[in-house]
Amino acid sequence: MLKLSVLDEICSICRLSPDEGIPTWAAGGHFYSITRTRDELSIVCESRYVPTGSRAEPGWRVLKVEGPLDFSLTGILAALAGALANAGVSLFAVSTYDTDYLLIREEDLETGIRALRDAGYEVQL
């Protein structure tokens, strides 16, 4: 059975233009993810570090899939996303070498936890 834990951080999902440098505020705190593509510079970080006026979606909570997860495992993110989708909870996923993180809106946290527990996952607050 997969276990998930809810991190304390409240995060924002930010968008910058693809040619911008990585701002110093992006790497503040214990949880952040920085992704550059040809189309954008996407930053997920603790909301308290995001400057006022930034293009950002604040108020996201982070659920960590306890890992590490083996690369041969399949369907983990799909199953978790399905459980949340069935409950009407949208998500933003971040994957790392060891595991996956699900970001759900703070106002959907209780519904999301209930949906994941009902689907058989253990969720620790």
Q: How confident is the model at residue 20 (pLDDT cuts 50, 70, 90)?
A: very high
Output the pLDDT for position 59: 98
pTM: 0.93
Q: Structural domains in the chain?
A: 3-124 (3.30.2130.10)
Q: What is the largest CA-CA distance in the chain?
A: 43
Provide CB contacts within 8 A for 108, sequence distance 6+: 89, 90
Q: How confident is the model at residue 12 (pLDDT cuts 50, 70, 90)?
A: very high
In angstroms, the Cα distances linking 34 to 13, 43, 113 are 10, 5, 26
> With contact defined as beta carbons under 8 Å apart, do 102 and 2 qualify?
no
